[in-house]
Structures are given as structure tokens and as C-alpha cells.
A and B are shown apart, each in its own frame.
Chain A
Amino acid sequence: MATLGEPQAGTVVRVSGPLMEVDGVEGVAMLEILAVGPQRISAETVAIAGNRATLQAYEYTGGVKAGDAAVATGNQLTGLLGPGLLGQVFDGLMRPLSSAPLWLTPGRSTSEEDPGILARKWTFVPSAAVGEQVSPGDVLGTVPGAGSVEHRVLVPPGISGELAWLASESQVRALDPVARIGSREVSLAERWPVRSARPFRDRPAGAVPLHTGQRVLDLMYPLARGAAAAVPGGFGTGKTMLLQQIAKWSDADVIVYVGCGERGNEMADVLDGLSQLVDERTGGKLIDRTVIIANTSNMPMMAREASIYTGICVAEYYRDMGYDVVVIADSTSRWAEALREFANRNGDLPAEDGYPANLASALAAFYERAGRVTTLGGRTASVTVIGAVSPPGGDMTEPVTTDTQRFVRCLWLLDRDLAYSRHYPAVSWTGSFTRDEEAVGRWHTANGDPGWAKRRARAASLLAEADRLGDLADIIGANSLPGHERMVLLGGRLLRDGVLMQNALSANDGFCSAEKGAALLDLVLDVVDTCQKLVEDGVPATSIEQADHGPVLRAREETGPRDAAAVSSRRAEIVRGLEALR
């Protein structure tokens, strides 16, 4: 970022938690970072009136006094984007945590530029030719050994012209120049203000599903690459578990996991889990395709607010290299609360539940940074955003939940009753939706599974019918229902327990390939058809209900995660067992 003039020193006049007011800073810009007090803690400018600026501090402000100096830095909150992000953990301001001490005191570092990161040497392998005309997004070279995807050094946005000089294959550090375009030098790593979206060429039409490995999502509520999904759910409904499963198993190139105001133990668990699991596509570890942004609930609140943007900025950086990136944000409600906290301290008039009036637009701006795009360099790539929402009291009418629903393509609503009866993932089939079912259906039709949409429709209607009859059975008793309706109830149970439920801890069941998911659903639908025929032919419903359905229900656990054939091969024997009831 260009410096906005000479550093200006102002004076702190007010401190109230993360809010500070500073007098006498001339020429400071909105969003500019100031360094405050003897510890030079970072604070961002959020309001300017005359020569008084209001700042939100990114650190604990204990000990900051009226009269302390506040020095303008000329920079916005920036991230240093370069090799070395994958596999690492950063805080909300993109300062590395992997190299930080045990206790995070305010004085530890004042910028994202960790000396360890700046000193590290990388091999730069040039791939462009001097004398070419280059424009933003063109590949200048690659950096081997920087995570599980090929790290591409691109011409940054806003720079084009003749490639006057390109470094030969050599060892370079993050801020060393690797190319000169016209008169502008390009370094290995670039700085980017995290709140600004990185530019791209356009958004192409068409939808390609993101395979998450979670059956209820892939079969019922699929998410397209570049779309946004929200996962609202009260506490204990398994939000974090579901998000961790997606981080582990979805077929994206890069995962950015933003722990925004959540638990420290959970971040340790994510880190530990991903460090141990093998990435089947590369043979490396899953952590090598992952960047973790951890701003736990006890870390400074305003850095939590920034962490969402830091995460999506990193995602856009990898998108521009041509990769499909998934950003998982747990939880956007904590981010919204940070907005609220600060707005309240600042005396802003509240809209709903104390949230500021710009909550909806802030949410929209965040989710709209998702997208499947043609990058400046002409590659098709995507940023998919999955945001957890933590509605207070499980109240789905609260502002963050309702506003979020307006801006996402998918809603995976987690249901407390399902979770309490240990049906995980507790994705509700009454409140969830996807807006991309038709487009995803077309993609499946074109990619070898023309029955996808029909299968999904049958499952959805079976679930709805079983729910309706279940309510009725609760009043009059299942035994009073006619046989074909009792078969619907049985089918609903087989579908819920045998297909939609998934055991995250199981080696066979934690991940499910698209083919195995389809085979399981086909198996259940076939069994339902067989049962209906039996009832029609006079077999008592009770004897069908009391038959051992274990082989159907255990198929998901007892067959390999990609073994669709083993599931299908059970069909004949199961049907034969049922036919024997005649």
C-alpha cells in the first residue's frame, strides 16, 4: 500500500474496551491502521470527525491511557500473500500463530510480517519469457514445496506491460523481487488489503457440484462450487462436526478454515485431525491443502471481526491461481456480534436485537465474495463459502439467521430434535434448501448419473410422507394405519437411519463417494418398493416391520467409503429375505 503522507502522531483521549478515540491525527483515512501506545497495538480507523478519529483496537487495550501517542501507519489491514500459507495457522490479522508464544500477549508483534516468514527462502522456478507482454493473472513462475497444490506466482492486479526482467531459478525470500514489468517490480509475495475483494474477469454460467462426502448434503441439498451455504443450528446440533467433516472430505483444492470466535480446543482438534489424515488425491496430509485462521472466542474481539475477511482474502489468492477453494467460517454469528459490540460502544443507533443497521449489507458483501469465476488469467476457479450461524436460543428468526438466508444458495438447517436423538449430521429435511438443485441435476445428467434428480425427488417425497404419517401415528398409533402407510413409515426410517445418518468417526462411513451414496439410496428405495409389493400381496405389515433390516441399515458402515458395488450386491439377498415372508 502506498503511504498516505508522513506518519502523523495523535493523542489518545478516550479508551473504552476496544474503542479508542484519538485527537490530532490529520489526514488519516478510513480503515487506516494506527499504532497506539508504547506497545504499538494495531487499531483501525472506523470514523473520522474533524481531527478526531475513532479506532477499533485489534488487541487488549489494558493500560492504554489518555495522552498516549497514536501513530498513523499509512496502511490498511493487509495480508502478506505468498508461499508458506498452506499448512499454517494464523490469527485474525494474519499474524502467524505457529511461531507465536504460548500466551498471546499484546506486545508480541505489531504486524503480520513475522521475521521467520520473511527470512524463509523458497525456490522460484520461472515459467514466463522476458520480453513478453504480460497482464494481471499471468503466471510468472512456480514455487515447489509450498503445500499440496502448485504455488503459482502471478502478475498482480493492476500491473501489465512488457516483462523486462524475470529471476532465474533461484532461492528467494517473500519480499525479494522475482520480476520487473515495465518499471514495476513484482516480489514473490504480495500485500493485499483484506477487506477489498480481489478482481476477476467474470462469472461463467453453469454449476458444478462440490462433493462434500456427506450424503445428506450431496444427495439432498447439494452445493455448487462458488456458491455460499449457511449452516444455522443451536448449540449441540453438530455444526462444528459437520464443518470439520467438510474440511476433511470435500473435493476442493484448498480449504481455508476460519475459526471465528469459537473454541480453542476445537482449533487444536482441527489442526491435529488434518495433520494426521492423508489426502488421497496427493498422498500428502490434508493440512497441506489447508490454511487455518484461528481467532478463538477469548482472543481480541475486533480481530475476530477482521478474521472473516482475512480468510476470504487468502481464498481469493488461491482462486486466482486457478484453484477451487472452500472457505469455512465458524461462526459468522460471532463476527456479527463483534460488529454489534463495537457499534454499541460507538453509540450507533441499533436496528434489531442491538445489531447495527448495516448488518444485512455487511453479510451480503461477505457472502458475495463467493463465486465461480474466470480469473484475470483466464482460469476457471471458485471460492465456495460455508458459514456457520449460531442463533441465540436456537431462534431462527433472529437477525443474523434471517439476513443470512437471503444471501446464500444453500441452507443446511441443523435440527435440535435430530441431534438429541443422535441423528447426525442433524441436517433437517424440512427447513433446509438448495437453490441449485436443477443445475446440479443437469451436471449429474451430463456426468454419468442421469437418475440423480429423480432419486432425490423420490427420497424427498418419501421423507415428507413419512413425517406426515409419523405425526398421525403419534396420535392414533402406527398399528391403526393401513399397511401401505406403515411401509412408508418403515421406508422413512430406513432412509433416515440407513442413508442420511452418517457416522463421522467411522473409517467406512465418515466419507461417502457419490456412487456409494447413490447406491445406498437406490438400495433403500428398492427395499421400500419390495415391501409395498408384499403388503399389496397380503403379507402382514407387522411381519415386514419386525424383519431384520440390519443388512440395509448397516450397509453404510460395513462397506468401504467408495464401494458402491458392495452396497449394490446386498440388494438381491435382502430382497430374497423379504420375499421369504410371503
Chain B
Amino acid sequence: MTDRTTTPGAADSENLPRKAEGRISHGDVRELRGPLLVMGDVAGVGWDEFASVDVAGRERHGLVLEVDHDLVTLQVLEGTDGMAPGNIRVRFAGQPLRIPVGPGWLGRVCNGRGEPLDGGPPVTGDTTLPVSGWPLNPVHREPPQEPVLTGISVIDALTTLVRGQKLPIFSVPGLPHLALATQIAAQATSGGTAFRVVFAAMGLTHADIAYVRDRLEERSAAGELVLLLNAADDPVIERILTPRIALTVAEHLAYTEGHDVLVIMSDMTSYAEAVREVSAARREIPARRGYPGYLYSDLASLYERCGRVRGQNGSVTIVPVLTMPAGDITHPVPDLTGYITEGQIVLSAEVAARGIYPPVDALSSLSRLMRSGAGAGRTREDHLDVAAQVLAALARARQAAELAELVGAGALSETDRSYIAYRGQVESGLLNQGHDELRSLDDTLGRAWSALATLPRQELTMLSTEFLDRYLPEGSEAS
């Protein structure tokens, strides 16, 4: 085996390894295919090692995907466009990619590889960490249970976000998912404290990026925001790295610096497409819709980096945003995401068409951790029962509305008609709100009770007599 610090044999030929900056540089290019670069005559390189690729004097970056005897397959983050076998020199870093971490990231704007876009110097830190992270020992995890108040009624009331949770937004192109994500980022507090926000943009258009920067300007100015921006016309493979850098920065801010960190990753569909592109170039056997069988594990290696640690202050809360191709929730990206995350907030074009912002389909949305983060001692004693009742009644109202379309509203029973009135009240009073409107939890729950009050009292079977007496508005239909 070749010692990488010595030059083996003659280094005069272009293709033989050469020593440069203390590391051997390799030039024996065997294959270029899609984002892949296969190098020959390489020894002593480990799997998942980071590499810098010199292409006619300009630097690109690569990650080792496979080591096979003396062949090493790399994925080139910036893509292989313009690369020719004769003008490539590759130097391997001797270890997986590490980045500097620390508070120096706050207030910075960087590209998808973590290089500054704001004209500042490269981000530095006292320590470096591998971007792939390590699995957090589940025994050390603290079950998330402190509510995050976003000031957005539909989320706070019906799908409460909890500190340390991963709760994605499922959207379709054209819906205001970025407005919602940035509103969460701007307004969210837990126990009265605001979050540090790490925003990882993957494949967003420049218009979307400008919108995000504008919406979060205050947070950025306050030095509470990290922006990692991979635009739609930036290198595709770089997107594989962007969320990993974001999460590595976030984990350090949370568990070492003690901050509550909110990581927003948008758009995960673009990320998954980059993973698929690499997989296809490697000619791997696809599972569903061309996506590789390991997409679940790959997404989990990102989403699972949320959490709380026993005996420590900080937390990582993750809100991934993804657009469902053709609105299909069974598409592999939303489907696998839903299996990993702790619930989902589903946006619906149908709700948006009725003029409701945020256009959340409340019945398809769910926060799995709500049961531990809401209710007595967390938010308010009646919160969980009210949420369950609002949703159950919405389900019934939907049936009644469907029936009304078939048989006409006149043929409905009085009870069914009250459900239709209830739905209108929920939508206008509770669900609909402004892009910058921040509502207190009491306000939100009061609106929920007002809507429930349009139903006959005996329909409210999920609420105890005690709560009905205490919270149901006076003089309503129901009392």
C-alpha cells in the first residue's frame, strides 16, 4: 500500500500520482459519467472521503462513493461539465468532509457548500465536525414536550409544533409554503424565547430566495439567521451537501452553544432528485419511481438530527418543506418523509382556492408529538380535547358538504346543516389569517370554541361537561 505522504515512483508522467501540498494528487481518470468521476491507480483512500478536484486551475469538490481495488468513484458536487480526462488532478483529504462550526455562522449568507456569498471572509470556528454527523444515542434523547408557539392558529391549535420535533410542510407548486415556513421562522417562540434559524435552500429559484431573505431580514440583522443557498441554477449535486452542513451547524449551536435552533430545509424534493441523479449514474437498481432503495435511510440521516438531549438546554427542530409532484402524497419523497417525520402539515390547492391562508388541509395534517406538547401544564387544559373535537367535526362537516352537493342543502338534516355552518366558521374565524399576523394561544383557542359553538351541544361528545361549561361561549347556538 502506498504511503500517501511519499511520492511513489516517478511523478513525471501526467497520469501518475504527484505530491502537492502534502497530499498526493492523482490524475489517472478512467471514466466521467453524469456527476461521477472514476479515478484509477489510487491507494489508501477510504470510503466517504472528501476530495478536492482541480479542473484546469479551478477547484471543484468530490465525495468518495466507492473504493474498488485501485479504482475510486467520486461524485463531483459541482458536476462534471467541462471536465476532460487530461486536465484533472484529484487530492484526497484523508477523511470525510468536516466543516468549522460555531457562532461565526450566525448572520452569514453562504452558498450550498458553505462558502460565503455575502462578501465576508470564510466562516471559521474553533472546532470542526464531520458533516454526516453521528447518530444520537436514543437513550440520551429527551422526549420533546415543550410546545413551540408559532402564532399561526391552524398550527398552534390543531398540529402543535414541539421543540425538538421534525414536522414537514407538504405543498404543491404554486402554494405559499415559503410564506408559511418563513412566518414560522419569524414568529416561533418556545417558552418565550425566539429560535436561531438555519435556512437551507435547495434548488429554490432566485425569486424565492429573494423572498426568503426579505421575509427573514429582521432575524438576519439580529444575527440569529444562517442562510445556505443553493439556487435552482446552482450545481445539483451540491444539494446533497447543503442540508448536512445546515444540520451540522445547527447541532453545534444547539448542543454546544445551548440555543434552540430551527432548521428549515426547502425544497426536499429537489434534494431527493439530486440523490436520484447520482444513483442513476451509478446504475443502481431503483425502488420506486427511479429513486434508490436507500432514500428512506438517506432522508432519515437528515431528519433524525432533530431532538433534545437529556440534561442539555439546546434543541434542534426541523421543518422540511417539500413540493409533492402533481400533488401526489404517495410520491416517494412525501411518503418516505411522512414515515420518518413526526407528522406533516399538508397544504391544499383546494383550500387555497377558497381564499384561506395558510391553506392547510387540517384533516390530512398531524403533529404526532402534540399529545405530549399540548394540554394541561403545556398549553391549556382544554387544548387536546378542543383540537380533537374541531377535527372530528370537520370530518363530519366534509361528509355533510359532499352530501349537500349530491342531494341539495335543503334535503340535509338540521344537524348536517349546522355542520356546514360550522365549517364556514372554522375556516374564516380560525384557519384564515394574515401573512404577518401573530395570534396568542388564548386567541386561537377562543376562535376554536366560537366555531364549535355553532354546533348543537350534544354533538360535542369529545368535550367534557366541565370544559363545555367553562369555555363554550355564552348565548351560542349550543348552550
Contact = CB atoms under 8 A, between A and B. Distances in A.
A90 to B, nearest CB: 10
A159 to B, nearest CB: 35
Contacts of A350: 285
Contacts of A344: 284-285, 292-293
A277 interface: no
Given A235-B344, A264-B135, 12 more contacts: A15-B66, A16-B67, A61-B48, A62-B130, A64-B47, A65-B45, A65-B46, A98-B139, A265-B369, A268-B141, A421-B392, A478-B413
B372 interface: yes
Interface in A392-441: 392-395, 420-422
Interface in A102-121: 102-105
A166 interface: no
A300 B134 CA distance: 10
Contact of B307 (A100, A265, A480): A265
Most buried by A among B135, B286, B335, B342: B135
A103 B47 contact: no
Contacts of B138: 89, 97, 259, 264, 267-268, 271, 294, 296
B102 interface: no
Interface residues of B, number: 84
A265 B296 contact: no
How many interface residues does chain A have, given as a range?
35 or more
Interface of A: 13-17, 60-67, 89, 97-98, 100-105, 234-236, 240, 259, 261, 263-265, 267-269, 271-272, 294, 296-301, 334, 337, 340-341, 344-345, 350, 353-354, 390, 392-395, 420-422, 473-480, 497, 505, 542, 545-546, 548-550, 553-554
Given A301-B297, A420-B395, A354 B286 contact: yes
A421 B65 CA distance: 45
A271 B143 CA distance: 9
B67 A236 contact: no
Interface stretch (B81-89, B189-197, B404-412): B404-412
Given A89-B139, A271-B139, A334-B296, A66 B70 contact: yes
B10 to A, nearest CB: 22
B473 interface: no
Interface of B: 1, 43-49, 65-70, 95-96, 130, 132, 134-144, 164-165, 284-288, 292-294, 296-297, 300-301, 304-307, 309, 329-332, 335-336, 338-340, 342-344, 363-364, 366, 368-369, 371-372, 384, 388, 391-392, 395-396, 399, 402-403, 406-407, 411-413, 415, 458, 461
A297 B299 CA distance: 9
Nearest to A99: B139
Contact of A235 (B65, B141, B335): B335
Contacts of B363: 420-421
A354 B335 contact: no
Most buried by B among A101, A267, A392: A392
Nearest to B407: A477
Given A15-B47, A478-B413, A550-B458, A103 B293 contact: no
Given A66-B67, A263-B340, A337-B293, A422 B402 contact: no
Given A104-B135, A546-B415, A297 B141 contact: no
A393 B304 contact: no
12 contacts: A15-B47, A15-B67, A65-B43, A65-B46, A65-B67, A66-B69, A263-B340, A263-B342, A298-B301, A340-B293, A474-B403, A497-B461
B66 A16 contact: yes
Contacts of B306: 265
Contacts of A102: 136-137, 140, 309
Nearest to A339: B293
B166 to A, nearest CB: 8
List the 6 shortest-distance A-B pairs measured between CB atoms, nearest first.
A393-B330, A297-B300, A421-B395, A298-B304, A235-B338, A268-B141
A393 B339 CA distance: 10
Given A15-B67, A235-B335, A235-B339, A296 B135 contact: yes
B143 A269 contact: yes
B47 A61 contact: yes
Contacts of B336: 392
Contacts of A101: 137
Contact of A17 (B47, B144, B458): B47
B293 A263 contact: no
Given A62-B96, A267-B141, A422 B135 contact: no
Contacts, number: 225
A505 B384 contact: yes
Contact of A337 (B296, B366, B392): B296
A340 B140 contact: no
A422 B392 contact: yes
B341 to A, nearest CB: 8
Most buried by B among A340, A350, A420, A550: A420
Contact of A264 (B134, B307, B335, B368): B307
A550 B304 contact: no
A349 to B, nearest CB: 9
Nearest to A349: B285
A101 B411 CA distance: 65
Most buried by B among A268, A296, A345: A268
Contacts of A553: 461
B95 A63 contact: yes
A296 B134 CA distance: 12
Given A15-B66, A66-B70, A297 B399 contact: no
A294 B339 CA distance: 17
A171 to B, nearest CB: 27
Contacts of B67: 14-16, 64-66
A478 B402 CA distance: 13
Contacts of B286: 354
A61 B391 CA distance: 47
A29 B300 CA distance: 33
Contact of B287 (A234, A354, A394): A354
Contact of A477 (B68, B304, B384, B412): B412
A105 B134 contact: yes
B178 to A, nearest CB: 24
Contact of B402 (A13, A297, A474): A474
Contacts of A554: 461
Most buried by B among A89, A299, A549: A299
A267 B143 CA distance: 9
B256 to A, nearest CB: 11
Contacts of B49: 62-63
A428 to B, nearest CB: 16
Given A63-B49, A474-B402, A477-B412, A16 B391 contact: no
B283 to A, nearest CB: 10
B143 A268 contact: yes
Most buried by A among B46, B95, B331, B364: B46
Given A265-B141, A354-B285, A505 B47 contact: no
A64 B288 CA distance: 30
Contacts of A261: 296-297, 300
Contacts of B372: 269
A268 B307 CA distance: 10
Nearest to A236: B366
A298 B300 contact: yes
A340 B395 contact: no
Contacts of A497: 461
Contact of B297 (A269, A341, A390, A505): A341
B294 A341 contact: yes
